[in-house]
Amino acid sequence: MIQALISRGDRRLAPLLQQVRHYGDSLGSYRRAFKELRGTLPDLEFYVHADWSSEQILPWQHLQGGLPVATLLKHLENAVAAADAPDAVDAPDRMAV
């Protein structure tokens, strides 16, 4: 959950990250900060569990990464296809990346 939050989060989560840093950068720090900031943060459902369109601009997309967007989309397509395969549950080590 924390990885999804950080990878999809934007500047509205800055108060949360500041509190986590203040409390010590541990899993417990996240729990404490979430509890303390409840009601002041955006809905975490949007960041963590929502299915985002591949066309949606990500908060960090303005940064130039090592892989082009087309490559990342191909990886996503392969992962979704592998997860939907009938034997994906039986043999997760054979899933395409």
Tokens 């034997």 belong to residue: 87
Query: Helix axis angle, 27-37 relative to 14-23, nearest 10°?
Result: 130
Tokens 């397509």 belong to residue: 77
pTM of the model as a whole = 0.61
Mind listing the pLDDT tens digit of every residue in the chain (97 residues)? 888 888 888 889 999 999 999 999 788 999 899 899 999 988 888 888 888 888 888 887 888 888 888 898 999 899 989 988 887 555 555 555 5
Q: How do the residues of the chain divide into helix, strand and coil, expressed in percent and rounded to 5?
A: 55, 0, 45
Query: What is the pLDDT, as a whole number, of residue 3?
Result: 87
Query: What is the pLDDT, as a whole number, of residue 23?
Result: 93
Our measurement of the distance from residue 40's CA atom to the centroid of its chain's CA atoms, rounded to an integer in Å, reads 20
Amino acid at 39: G
